[in-house]
Amino acid sequence: MTDIFAKPELDRRTLLRRAAAVGLLATPAVGMLSACVGGGSDDSDSEQATGTKSADNPLGIDPKAGVEIVIFNGGLGTAYATDVDTPLFNKKWPDAKVTYSATEQISTVIQPRINAGNPPDMINNSGSNLMDFGAIVKAGQAADLTDLFAAPSLDIPGKTVAETLVPGAVEQGSYDGKPFAMNYSYTVFGLWYNKALFAKNNWTVPTTWAEFTALCDKIKAAGITPFGYAGANASYYMVRALLTSAGKIGTEQVLKDIDNLKEGAWQNDAIKQAAQAWGEIGNKYINKTFLGLKHTEVQLQQNQDKVAFYPCGSWLENEQAKDTPPGFEYAIAAYPSVTAADKLPAPAINAAAGEIYFAAAKGKNPAGGKEYLRTMLSKEAALGFTKLTKSLTVVAGASDGVTISPGLTSANDAVTKAGKDIFMGYLFDTWYKKLDDESRGAVNDLMFKGGDAQKFCDRMEKASQAVAKDSSVTKFTRS
């Protein structure tokens, strides 16, 4: 049988920035997912471990049944699972053995097990080899997490799990109105720089485009590349930068229209203005050799103070921990306002929940998988995750008042400054692989090859409408 989970590879950071649309609706263009996809029979449900529900056991797990978890081994590492979450789980359920494994090849390892009807109980779906989660949901392979989010928090008295999370966290993992994913890591996106380098040179972080280009001139005169990203495997960092600017110019509706494949969406003036502004940065202030470099190579140059500004998400500090020299202080700035008429203010930022974790509906112990997720969503576990990964979680206030690292502190400050002007961004990159690929090539041409804004918009509009008219592509809508 054809493997419906097979798909082109996405970079692992895609999941760190992935956030499902609120009230996500999937409208298949063709018949989806045959009944035999995922393998296994309905008889497996009767063999699943269950227990008696009670106030102390709201999900009704079998206290003695084992729980198998698989964690993606990437930028976040795996210590949070082995050193924080599993000990906390076993503190409450000492007779439930947790079987743990980690892999960089989630789809390669997990997909055959799903197809065979023998999946792990809890899975961290991430990485360049991630599985198509929309297909997993439609095949009935992901457990409905409604009862998890309605269950009491493990360590925040008087609140359900859902009530302890940042706004939108449950909805971001929902499909057809039901939650199937826990998007755990809360990622802040923007311009990253070395605060110590800026202080040494008396450089002020810009809030307007005029200030941005003026500072780039100063940085260039000092012999430092003002702005850079890796064209070989991280061009979507630049796509996000450009579209974040477009969202600030014209509001998030501009990005929703793109996600919904609306005709003319890529020709919106906000996108043209953003592409024009960023294209000039590429023409004047980027090192053209970066087109052939990978993300770690450019990030290392920033650690060596050879690159001033780098567009990325808040996983950057942890990812570069081994290469960051003493005295280097990661800090993040919101992308500067492109025009004086931007509809969102300068502090507005793009931040979203990402990094999918889910319980397998057809595993041996789906209730145990959900209970493991409840453990992760405790305040104690969330704080432990943040300390180990230097990444925020969707557990609201879990790291308040705790000084962990310069970059995390800066990201927290950026969220506070943005206030109500935090927007989720776009989703087409995880919905439509062909459109994502085209955006990466188009932005590289714009930034490295002297491309112009109109050509960028024309190219993306053509690609978008090709997807819209392709009946073989499952369409998603966003409100």
Backbone angles phi, psi at 318, to 5 degrees: -70, -40
330's tokens: 């990661």
Q: Tell me whether the CATH fold assigned to 13-187+352-411 matches the one assigned to 188-350+426-477.
A: yes
- What pLDDT was estimated at residue 168? 78
3-state SS, the chain, equals: CCCCCCCCCCCCHHHHCCCCCCCCEEECCCCCCCCCCCCCCCHHHHCCCCCCCCCCCCCCCCCCCCEEEEEECCCCCCHHHHHHHHHHHHHHCCCCCEEEEEECCHHHHHHHHHHCCCCCCEEEECCCCCCCHHHHHHCCCECCCHHHHHCECCCCCCCECHHHECCCCCHHHEECCEECCEEEEEEEEEEEEEHHHHHHCCCCCCCEHHHHHHHHHHHHHCCCEEECCCCCCCHHHHHHHHHHHHHHHHCCHHHHHHHCCCCCHHHCHHHHHHHHHHHHHHHHHCCHHHHHCCHHHHHHHHHCCCEEEEEEECCHHHHCHHHCCCCCCEEEECCCECCCCCCCCCCCEEEEEEEEEEEECCCCCHHHHHHHHHHHCCHHHHHHHHHHHCCEECECCCCCCCCCCHHHHHHHHHHHHHCCCEECCCCHHHHCHHHHHHHHHHHHHHHHCCCCHHHHHHHHHHHHHHHHCCCCCCEEECC
- What pLDDT was estimated at residue 31? 29
Query: Closest Cα partner for 225 from 288, 145, 148, 133?
Result: 288
- What pLDDT was estimated at residue 37? 36
Query: Closest Cα partner for 13 from 266, 230, 291, 265?
Result: 230
| Number of other CB atoms surrounding residue 262 within 10 Å | 14
Distance (Å, whole) CA 362 – CA 182 = 17
Q: Out of 1.10.540.10, 3.40.190.10, 3.40.50.10540, 3.90.1640.10, select the CATH number for domain 188-350+426-477.
A: 3.40.190.10
Q: Cα separations (Å) of 424 from 249, 252, 264, 378, 473?
A: 15, 8, 21, 24, 24
Pairing of strands 182-194, 330-333: antiparallel
Give strand pairing partners of 208: 337
State the 10-residue block means of pLDDT for the chain, 479 residues long: 37 40 32 35 67 97 98 91 98 98 96 96 90 88 98 97 90 85 94 98 98 98 98 95 98 96 98 98 98 97 98 92 96 98 97 92 98 98 93 89 88 90 88 91 97 97 98 85
* Alpha carbon of residue 312 to chain centroid: 11
| Number of other CB atoms surrounding residue 340 within 10 Å | 8
Phi and psi based region of residue 39 (left: phi greater than 0; alpha: psi -120 to 50; beta: remaining): left
What superfamily would CATH give domain 13-187+352-411?
Periplasmic binding protein-like II (3.40.190.10)
Domain boundary assignment for the chain: 13-187+352-411, 188-350+426-477
